[in-house]
Amino acid sequence: MAIVFYSVLISLKHNVIWLRSSKSPLTLYELLFFSKYLSCMDFSSHLMILTIGKRIFSQKSLKRLYTTSTTINMSTGEKIGVPLKKVTEVLENFAPKQLSESWDNTGLLLEPYTARNISKILLTNDLTEDVALEAQDHGCEMIISYHPPIFSPLKSVVQRAWKERIVSLLLEKQISLYSPHTSWDSVRGGVNDWLASAFPVKESAPLVPGTDPQFGPGRLLQLASSISLSDAVTKVKQLTGLSHVRFALGKGKNMSSEVLTVALCAGSGSSVLKGVAADLYLTGEMLHHDVLDAAQKGISVILTNHSDSERGFLKGFSSKLQNLLNNEVQVFVSKVDKDPLVTL
């Protein structure tokens, strides 16, 4: 009888076992039965790696293998994590889909054919191939990408384009994909309110109120006390972690001029900010002529780059989501996700 080559990864630290084989999951009974074929043991990094047969795996390849595994609590025999449906319900309770713009593509975008519990989630602002591989290496069963990587309809899923390769990889590895995008822009406690937290805010209202005036894109801020333009730039840098921002000085103003009102919009703010009366505009990017128009009207402008006005929200939200899921799921923030533009 031919021996099926299994790879088994046991975490001693968390009392959890991940099982993976080339054909079918390895049961605990089978693990004991095949243990005499053990050929390699590695106790590094608090992990015991068992390789059965002649197939030898590197640490990196084992991490990739176990992303398609079943996660079991050895003391109870139950799966770790929560159903995908519960995660999507929690996400939509925080930011209902109806808050999304009509043109947007939000919600659950990819759902693997085989149902898996969600025990690890990766948050990212933009989903690239590197981020998808990062999620695989972490053993994540789900990615939440602020920007929807599937926006225009796909006519095929082949290897010629990077977005199609991501879809192919996620489906192969059974990783779900969710995108909230403009629902997070509109909701209270979302991306725009995170951006507003750079300032001492007295009052805040959406720039474009929806059916409920408390929700909508952008924010118009009345500050609790005036700050200088110089201080405003410093506060934005501190919040976003940026060493540089782009800045347009309003006509008749200087860096000591006071700011009492701020209009802001995470991402691309040209359409939302246009015509709004304020001392300062803050957004990720604006069209040249819209910046020029604002500056000529005496409104100063801070630009951070598109995704740099959004990405920082994820750090705080990771803890919030973990709490909303009763700490049954680990939530990570991507370390490779970054804005494609840099200042040289």
Coil, strand or helix: which one is 295? Answer: helix
Residue 197: name the closest of 248, 153, 240 by CA: 240
Residue/partner pairs of 146-149 with CB below 8 Å, 24 or more apart: 146/179, 146/180, 146/181, 146/184, 146/191, 146/310, 146/311, 146/313, 146/314, 147/179, 147/181, 147/307, 148/104, 148/105, 148/106, 148/109, 148/179, 148/181, 149/109, 149/177, 149/179
**Hey, CA dihedral for 56, 59, 65, 70, is it positive or negative?**
positive
| Maximum Cα interatomic distance, the chain, rounded to a whole number of Å | 86
CA gap 150, 154 in Å, rounded? 8
Return the higher-pLDDT residue of 49 and 206.
Answer: 206
What percent of the chain is predicted at pLDDT more than 90? Answer: 71
Give 4's pLDDT tier (boundaries 50, 70, 90): very low
**pLDDT exceeds cutoff 60 at 50:** no
* pLDDT the model gives residue 178: 99
**pLDDT exceeds cutoff 50 at 18:** no
* pLDDT the model gives residue 154: 86
The reply, when asked if residue 147 is annotated as ligand binding, is yes
The reply, when asked if residue 181 is annotated as ligand binding, is no
Which pLDDT tens digit goes with each residue over 74-133? 455 555 799 999 999 999 999 999 999 999 999 999 999 998 999 999 999 999 999 999
Give 19's pLDDT tier (boundaries 50, 70, 90): very low
**pLDDT exceeds cutoff 70 at 7:** no
Which pLDDT tens digit goes with each residue over 277-291? 999 999 999 999 999
The reply, when asked if residue 306 is annotated as ligand binding, is yes
For the chain, the average pLDDT equals 84
Mean pLDDT of 289-304: 98
Which pLDDT tens digit goes with each residue over 139-197? 999 999 999 999 988 888 999 999 999 999 999 999 999 999 999 999 999 999 999 99
Mean pLDDT of 249-277: 98
Return the higher-pLDDT residue of 247 and 40.
Answer: 247
Report the first-to-last Cα separation within the chain, whole angstroms: 63
Return the higher-pLDDT residue of 210 and 323.
Answer: 323
Which pTM was predicted? 0.79
**pLDDT exceeds cutoff 80 at 321:** yes
Q: Which residue ranges form the domains of the chain, and what is each CATH number?
A: 6-73 (no CATH), 84-184+312-333 (3.40.1390.30), 198-309 (3.40.1390.30)
* pLDDT the model gives residue 284: 98
